[in-house]
Every structure is written in C-alpha cells, then in structure tokens.
Amino acid sequence: MRALLNRMVFAARTGAHVRSGHVGWRCRIGHGSHIKAGCVLNNVTMGRDCFVNRGAELYASDVGDYVSIGHLAQIGPNEHLTDEITTCNALYDDVLGKKLRARNVPRTTIGHDVWIGSRAIVLRGVTVATGAIIGAGAVVVRDVEPYGIVLGAPAQLLRQRFAPELVDRLMASRWWEADPSDVRRAVARSATAASPAEKVEAFLVALP
C-alpha cells in the first residue's frame, strides 16, 4: 500500500516513477527518474531522468541529472564514531550522541551524468563530480574529479574518460541544463564520431 501511495504522489508531483515504498517524504525526485523496488531513499534530492536500481540505498544526498545507480549501491550511509571506546551508539550519553549527530551532518554530492556501479559505496560527505564512473564494488572515501573512473576499495583513479581540455569544455558547456530533447539529439550526433575529441566536438556543436 505504501509503495502504491508513493508511486501516486511522486508521479503526480514530478512525473517520477517510484516503485519502492521506502522513499521518504522529504525526498525530491526529478521528472522522469526511476526508483526501482527495494530502494531506500531518505532526505535525498535527485534531478531528472535518473535511474536507481533494485535495493540501492541513498541517505542525505544531493544527486544531479542523468545519474545511474546500480543495484545494492549505498550512497551517504551514516558514519560511526571511531575514536571513542565503542562504536555502538546505544551506549552513548547526550554528549556522545550530539557528537555522533554532528559527524553525520555532511551531505554526499553526486554530480550530473554519474554512473555508480553495483554494490559500490560512496561514503558520507564525499563529492562525486559530473561525468565520473564508480566501478562495481568500489568504496569511495574521497572526492572524485569530473569524468574520472575509479575502482577498488578504497577507490583509486584508473583513468580519465576524456583528456583534460575536453573535460574542461564539457564542464563549461553545462550541457545537462539544455532541453533533454536537444541533449538526446546531440548524443546521437556524437555516436558516429571515431575519436573522443571528435565525439566531444560533435556533441557540443549539436547543442543549441
């Protein structure tokens, strides 16, 4: 019943497709985004045309447009206190409880057009910049730069998707703010280009 109510509310409010009953009312889900069954979202903002696969969990996070999140990924889970006698908050008094809450104030930020692989974990307070790819099973403990590909636990930079000058051009264009129909046409135009530089050029030229 809750899942059905969530679907109705988000569809009416934003045009999002929510199949999970565990999406909090404080969440804002953008037009055309799909939240599959079994996902948990709490205190999350999300842009348009995102896809969150089964069982993914997002907490206190701000997610851009065109983001893809694999099944069972975790974004922004709560931290524990590691410099106290115990990590169990059931044993904390008011002072330690306040310290724990302060530890979990920072939000996690996911830029635009990010792909986060299955079972990846992005820790609380981390920023994953636009265009980045997080490999399956990676544990991201520090910020990821634009259009970087990171793998492993802890995640390390494998390579950049494009040369630095191409990344600068893509970021400067702010293409994610263009009309989605224009973006789709530009993507299709770039698909036939042979090299990364030609793809970026064709994409940017095709945008209004």
Q: Is 80 one of the annotated active-site residues of the chain?
A: yes
Length of the chain: 208
Tokens coding 59: 């907490």
Phi, psi of 115 (to 5 degrees): -115, 120
Dist CA 134 CA 23 (whole Å): 23
Output b/e per residue, 1-29; b: 16+ Cβ within 10 A. eeeeebbeebeeebebebbbbbbeeebeb
State the catalytic residue, choosing from 31, 71, 80, 112. 80
Residue 40, strand partner residues: 22, 57
Alpha helix (H) residue ranges in the chain? 2-14, 94-103, 164-173, 180-190, 196-206
- Enumerate the active-site residues: 80
